[in-house]
């Protein structure tokens, strides 16, 4: 039985660190749905969020293999406890005439913001879980979508579930 | 005082107590070679191919327990080293490889002899570094040795751009390393160890299965004591041979694809299994689903958490240094009033003896053509079972593992994980340098030996008196065997045509060559080669062996451990 897991990890902010993780996933044929990485408040550390799909055994191996990488400081499977997941999406839509009102309304319903307005287009910024972003794309007129860009999920534990060195 | 990067490299190696650096020069490492010329703390061994440099360093590590060191130039030097690095990686051998790199300003510009060494080696090293600043050189080398040798050992590559080798900085070698991201667990969980002890005492059909981790973790003494205390049967993997004395009655032989009937049957049918420093890989347990058909409880001790429950689910995982954990277990057994159920154990041993009586390693001793097994048996006799034995990859490797009874650890050097043809001779060199007085025998085949044959020249230069036992069947025997079994005897490209005259080849390198054609000459030839008269010489013994001989027993790929093909069934 495969399920979706969000794995958070802290690693040394060294050159090549990202390729060690990416290489591990491809060498061992693990899935990557998305991967995001950026330095933390401590500039020597990077935080990475990896969304992957696998059976319990595979996820256990993924976590062990990640821990084995010499640059990795800590690994946490966020999906093992309560957590928050967010992804940012920018969507450029064709917005002319009547469509402008409708798109504005949809953006409001999904708590998106229009961050760029041009004669014939809107660019809408939306954050939420991946499912919410998918739902927005389904809700608007498919033909209106000109371009989308998504960051992939970032995650954090709820309450006192903290990933720190 | 300020030192150049090149001086720092040699000073660091001296600080680490390095005795030998196996290497090959080139543009990017010439500053380092110049410093090697000026120092006398360690010796440089000039190999004839960078692959052999890493193999020899790897063998030095296997035979001595210390970290092996190799030095290669950028570009082709680094790529030639990759096979050696991957070989060491698969068998978890501590090696530090220093590679030259083009100057930092030229990196990424497709400079002459530039390759992304860190990128190429990433999947086959424990860790690697590109040193861009001379200020970080000493601490990086310190870390490299630390990472290579601790936890589950492995190769570490340090890539040094040429400009870094002439930049200067204050030199101070750190005393210790502390890395927040790297702290292997060594002490086993005491609750788990207690559980393991209890489970082992409850066994009615116990089995001890140990692998390369016992050799690397210097725990063969503990394994032996524990097995004798409980009177439980023991099997070793190919990498674990020597972990328990092979000539002892409690030893059932190697297990796995070419393991003995008794070892494989006992492994399949035991009710409690103690696995130590082993990883249940495909060549050991065959098909995991078939293995899981029998109910058994498993205790697994390993320093690498990712080796546990990877292919086989275990009941009591213990992460830690195998030697420390076994010491703890032994303490518990010695303090315990409980003992194993003697009646059950006797019944189990009776069953095992029945399996053993199949005599699964028998071969035709009346043959008029030399049987390869016979040569290995005689080698064992002539060397008093006390040689360091290296092998290449193929049938001869399996016969060496089956017929040379290793009573001590670190005596058997072969490429178990990667299965690299060509390791035999460089392994013999590394072992001989680690133990100058010891007897070193390289059991090889006419195909494998040709993959690193150039090292005969290195052996001459450094007067390495290794003895080469070439089991010459004029075939890539193991390939031929698979073609016979699984491809209707269509021997596609597995016949070795145009072989050299190995006797004259050895002689041309300045060594002694012998050709042995008849079974009755085998013992005499071996006695002569290992006699005091030839103690200082490399002897190449070319045994003309039976071309049709196969390795038995055999567990076909995808089959279960107890589904062996035995010689007698054919
Ligand atoms: C570098 C490399 N290439 C190919 C193989 C595949 N292979 C495994 S055994 C073998 C034949 C070895 O022949 P030989 O050295 O003559 O030994 P024999 O099996 O005859 O004892 C081959 C080609 C390998 N293990 N390593």
The residues of B annotated as belonging to the active site are 50, 112-113, 162, 478
In tens, the pLDDT along A49-88 reads 999 999 999 999 999 999 999 999 999 999 999 999 999 9
- Using the atom order of ligand 1, give the atom closest to the CA of residue B420: 26
A15 touches chain B (CB under 8 A): yes
Residue B553 in 3-state DSSP? Answer: coil
> In the A/B pair of chains, how many CB contacts fall below 8 A?
36
* Residues, chain A: 165
Q: State the number of CA atoms in the 13 A half-sphere of B427 facing the CB.
A: 32
Confidence of residue B126 (pLDDT cuts 50, 70, 90): very high
Which pLDDT value is given to residue A87? Answer: 98
Q: How far apart are CA B320 and CA B507, in angstroms?
A: 50
B4 C-beta neighbours (distance < 10 Å), count:
20
In chain B the first and final C-alpha atoms are separated, in Å, by 74
B158 C-beta neighbours (distance < 10 Å), count:
25
Q: Which residues line ligand 1 (CB under 6 A)?
A: B 392-396, 419-421, 445-448, 471, 473, 475-479
Kindly tell me if the per-residue pLDDT of B570 is higher than 60.
no
Q: Which of residues 28-67 of A touch B (CB under 8 A)?
A: 57, 60-61, 64-65, 67
* Omega of the bond leading into B245 within 30 degrees of 0 (cis): no
CA distances from B551 to B235, B260, B481 (A): 19, 11, 8
In tens, the pLDDT along B67-90 reads 999 999 999 999 999 999 999 999
CA B104 from centroid of its chain's CA atoms: 36
Say how many Å lie between the CA of residue A102 and the centre of ligand 1: 70
Which pLDDT value is given to residue A1? Answer: 87
Confidence of residue B569 (pLDDT cuts 50, 70, 90): low
Q: What is the pTM assigned to this prediction?
A: 0.97
Closest CA to B459 of B543, B539, B516, B379: B539
A27 touches chain B (CB under 8 A): yes
CA distances from B229 to B42, B93, B221, B275, B299 (A): 44, 30, 12, 17, 18
Q: What percent of chain B has pLDDT over 90?
A: 99
Smallest Cα distance from B283 to chain A, Å = 19
A73 touches chain B (CB under 8 A): yes
Average pLDDT over residues B417-424: 98
* Beta carbons of B456 and B47 less than 8 angstroms apart: no
Report CB contact under 8 Å: A70, B179. yes
A26 touches chain B (CB under 8 A): no
Average pLDDT across chain B, whole number: 97
Which pLDDT value is given to residue A81? Answer: 96
Which pLDDT value is given to residue B480? Answer: 98
Average pLDDT over residues B524-538: 98
Q: How far apart are CA B9 and CA B14, in angstroms?
A: 9
In tens, the pLDDT along B132-143 reads 999 999 999 999
In tens, the pLDDT along B269-323 reads 999 999 999 999 999 999 999 999 999 999 999 999 999 999 999 999 999 999 9
- Using the atom order of ligand 1, give the atom closest to the CA of residue B396: 21
CA distances from B356 to B131, B254, B270, B349, B553 (A): 56, 13, 15, 10, 13
């Amino acid at each position: 039985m495969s399920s979706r897991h969000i794995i958070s990890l802290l690693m040394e902010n060294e050159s090549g660190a990202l390729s060690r993780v990416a290489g591990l996933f491809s060498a061992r044929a693990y899935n990557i749905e998305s991967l995001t990485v950026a330095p933390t408040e401590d500039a020597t550390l990077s935080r990475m969020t990896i969304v992957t799909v696998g059976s319990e055994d595979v996820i256990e191996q993924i976590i062990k293999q990640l821990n084995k990488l010499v640059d990795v400081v800590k690994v946490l499977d966020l999906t093992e406890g309560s957590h928050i997941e967010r992804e940012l999406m920018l969507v450029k839509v064709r917005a002319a005439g009547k469509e402008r009102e409708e798109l504005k309304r949809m953006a409001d319903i999904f708590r998106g913001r229009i961050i760029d307005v041009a004669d014939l287009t809107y660019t809408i910024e939306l954050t939420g879980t991946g499912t919410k972003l998918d739902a927005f794309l389904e809700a608007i007129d498919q033909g209106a979508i000109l371009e989308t860009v998504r960051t992939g999920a970032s995650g954090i534990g709820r309450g006192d579930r903290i990933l720190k060195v | 005082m300020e030192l150049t990067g090149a001086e720092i490299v040699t000073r660091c190696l001296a600080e680490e107590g390095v005795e030998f650096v196996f290497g090959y020069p080139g543009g990017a490492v010439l500053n380092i070679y110049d410093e090697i010329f000026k120092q006398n703390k360690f010796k440089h061994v000039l190999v004839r191919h960078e692959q052999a440099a890493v193999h020899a360093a790897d063998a030095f590590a296997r035979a001595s327990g210390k970290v092996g060191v190799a030095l290669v130039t950028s570009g082709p030097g680094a790529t030639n080293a990759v096979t050696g690095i991957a070989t060491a990686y698969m068998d978890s051998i501590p090696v530090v490889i220093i590679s030259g790199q083009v100057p930092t300003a030229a990196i990424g510009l497709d400079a002459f002899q530039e390759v992304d060494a860190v990128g190429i080696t990433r999947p086959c090293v424990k860790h690697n570094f590109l040193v861009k600043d001379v200020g970080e050189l000493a601490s990086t080398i310190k870390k490299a040795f630390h990472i290579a040798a601790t936890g589950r050992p492995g190769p570490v590559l340090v890539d040094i751009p040429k400009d870094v080798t002439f930049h200067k900085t204050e030199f101070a070698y750190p005393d210790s390393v502390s890395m927040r991201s790297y702290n292997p667990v060594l002490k086993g969980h005491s609750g788990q160890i207690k559980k393991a002890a209890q489970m082992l005492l409850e066994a009615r059909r116990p089995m001890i299965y140990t692998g390369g981790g016992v050799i690397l973790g210097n725990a063969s003494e503990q394994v032996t004591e524990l097995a004798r205390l409980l009177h439980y049967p023991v099997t070793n993997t190919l990498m674990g041979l020597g972990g328990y004395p092979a000539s002892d009655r409690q030893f059932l032989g190697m297990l796995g694809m070419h393991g003995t009937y008794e070892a494989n049957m006992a492994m399949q049918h035991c009710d409690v299994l103690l696995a130590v420093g082993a990883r249940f890989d495909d060549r050991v347990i065959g098909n995991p689903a078939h293995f899981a058909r029998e109910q058994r409880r498993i205790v697994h001790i390993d320093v690498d958490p990712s080796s546990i429950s990877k292919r086989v689910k275990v009941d009591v995982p213990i992460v830690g240094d195998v030697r420390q954990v076994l010491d703890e277990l032994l303490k518990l057994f010695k303090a315990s009033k409980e003992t194993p159920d003697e009646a059950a154990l006797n019944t189990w041993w009776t069953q095992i003896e029945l399996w053993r009586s199949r005599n699964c390693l028998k071969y035709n001793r009346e043959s008029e053509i030399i049987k390869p097994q016979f040569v290995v048996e005689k080698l064992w006799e002539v060397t008093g079972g006390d040689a360091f034995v290296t092998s290449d990859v193929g049938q001869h490797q399996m016969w060496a593992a089956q017929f040379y009874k290793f009573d001590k650890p670190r005596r058997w050097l072969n490429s178990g994980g990667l299965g690299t043809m060509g390791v035999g001779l460089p392994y013999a060199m590394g072992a001989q340098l680690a133990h100058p007085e010891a007897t070193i025998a390289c059991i090889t085949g006419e195909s494998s030996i040709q993959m690193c044959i150039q090292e005969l020249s290195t052996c001459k230069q450094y007067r390495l008196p290794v003895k080469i036992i070439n089991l010459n069947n004029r075939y890539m025997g193991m390939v031929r065997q698979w073609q016979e079994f699984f491809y209707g005897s269509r021997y596609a490209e597995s016949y070795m045509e145009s072989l050299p005259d190995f006797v004259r080849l050895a002689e041309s390198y300045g060594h002694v060559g012998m050709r042995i054609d008849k079974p009755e000459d085998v013992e005499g030839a071996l006695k002569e080669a290992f006699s005091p008269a030839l103690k200082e010489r490399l002897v190449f013994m070319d045994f003309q062996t039976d071309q049709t001989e196969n390795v038995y027993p055999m567990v076909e790929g995808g089959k279960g451990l107890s589904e062996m093909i035995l010689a007698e069934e054919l």
